[in-house]
């Protein structure tokens, strides 16, 4: 996105991304002999998922990245599991918000506040609005993680779910981009931008959603959302090494706080450390 957004408008990038993914996944479906469901219920679910998981977050993130660095955008995007925990608490019965998870959410949001900086809200310029846009995308991802759980109960396989979602997204975003951006009037993008679009569609969307929906059916919305924290690690390194970006110390501090919040939400590291501490603690002496 950081490369493509330099040459193309946001809606065009998003539309080309989902169209590329849709064509790829439909071809895979054909080769594997898997059919898309034809029920109205299934396509209504595809529509909801496409809006929450593609149309809203993709557009907000691409617009946001036209004003802020990709590393910062990825850190803000890592708040997805924080929002997912809250959404899952109110909309599910088996992913409740415990005291430890609530502490993780609070620590994570403190990290977000540290990154954005209190002084930034004195004047809501494009940079602050861009950061809020990426946070809005993370919230939308939180809703989509919970919404996507229904495909397992509907008996729709992950491949068909991924293909159906991006197909509906393409039907929404392609005509919108044609009307708003009029891409035929734009200059021909460079080879780097074209390759970036191909990577977004094939790797970051088509391949990623094959994994996403399979894991969502097995691990639940909250646990799947936790992997979002891997995004800043790779994006920051690539942003610095490839795009020449830099991050302020408050961004690093914010990322550390978000990471601590995610550790609290996940709970496994805390449980492991607690168990090890209990093993090493001396046994109480008997009184008899």
Query: Would you state the pLDDT for residue 116?
Result: 66
Nearest 10 degrees: CA dihedral of 204, 153, 79, 235? -20
Inform me whether the pLDDT recorded for 244 exceeds 60.
yes
- Mean pLDDT over the full length of the chain: 84
Question: How sure is the predictor about 167, in pLDDT bands with cuts at 50, 70 and 90?
Answer: very high
Inform me whether the pLDDT recorded for 287 exceeds 60.
no
Query: Would you state the pLDDT for residue 24?
Result: 94
Poorest-pLDDT segment among 40-49, 76-85, 146-155: 76-85
- H-type helices in the chain, by residue range? 10-32, 40-50, 56-65, 70-77, 80-91, 99-116, 126-147, 150-153, 158-180, 191-201, 208-219, 221-226, 230-242, 249-266, 268-280
Q: Is 182 left (phi over 0), alpha (psi -120 to 50) or beta?
A: left
Cβ-in-10-Å burial (0-12, 13-18, 19+) of 49 comes to: buried
Ranked by mean pLDDT, the top range of 82-91, 141-150, 173-182 is 173-182
Query: Would you state the pLDDT for residue 253?
Result: 84
pLDDT tens, residue by residue, 2-41? 889 889 998 999 999 999 999 999 999 999 888 899 899 9
Q: State what percent of residues in the chain have pLDDT above 90.
A: 34
> Rounded CA gap, 74 and 131, in Å?
10
Total-model pTM: 0.74
Query: Would you state the pLDDT for residue 125?
Result: 66
Spatial contact of 90 and 269, defined as CB atoms under 8 Å apart: no
pLDDT tens, residue by residue, 50-75? 999 999 999 999 999 888 877 778 77
């Amino acid at each position: 996105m950081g490369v493509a957004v330099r040459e193309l408008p946001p809606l065009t990038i998003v539309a080309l991304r989902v169209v590329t993914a849709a064509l790829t996944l439909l071809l895979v479906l054909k080769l594997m002999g898997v059919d898309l469901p034809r029920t109205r219920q299934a396509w209504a679910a595809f529509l909801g998922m496409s809006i929450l998981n593609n149309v809203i977050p993709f557009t907000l993130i691409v617009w946001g990245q036209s004003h802020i660095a990709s590393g910062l955008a990825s850190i803000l995007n890592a708040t997805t599991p924080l929002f997912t925990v809250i959404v899952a608490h109110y909309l599910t019965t088996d992913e409740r918000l415990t005291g430890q998870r609530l502490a993780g959410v609070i620590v994570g949001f403190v990290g977000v506040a540290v990154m954005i900086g209190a002084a930034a809200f004195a004047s809501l310029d494009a940079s602050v609005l861009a950061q809020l846009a990426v946070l809005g995308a993370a919230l939308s991802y939180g809703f989509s993680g919970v919404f996507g759980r229904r495909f397992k109960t509907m008996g729709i396989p992950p491949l068909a779910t991924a293909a159906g979602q991006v197909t509906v997204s393409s039907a929404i975003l392609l005509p919108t981009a044609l009307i708003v951006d009029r891409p035929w009037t734009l200059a021909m993008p460079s080879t780097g931008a074209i390759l970036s679009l191909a990577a977004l569609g094939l790797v970051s969307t088509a391949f990623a959603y094959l994994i996403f929906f399979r894991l969502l059916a097995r691990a639940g919305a909250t646990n799947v959302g936790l992997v979002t924290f891997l995004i800043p690690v790779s994006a920051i390194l690539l942003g610095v090494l490839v795009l020449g970006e830099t991050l302020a110390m408050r961004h690093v501090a914010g990322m550390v706080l978000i990471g601590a919040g995610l550790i609290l939400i996940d709970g496994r590291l805390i449980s492991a450390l607690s168990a090890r501490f209990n093993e090493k603690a001396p046994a109480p002496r008997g009184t008899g």
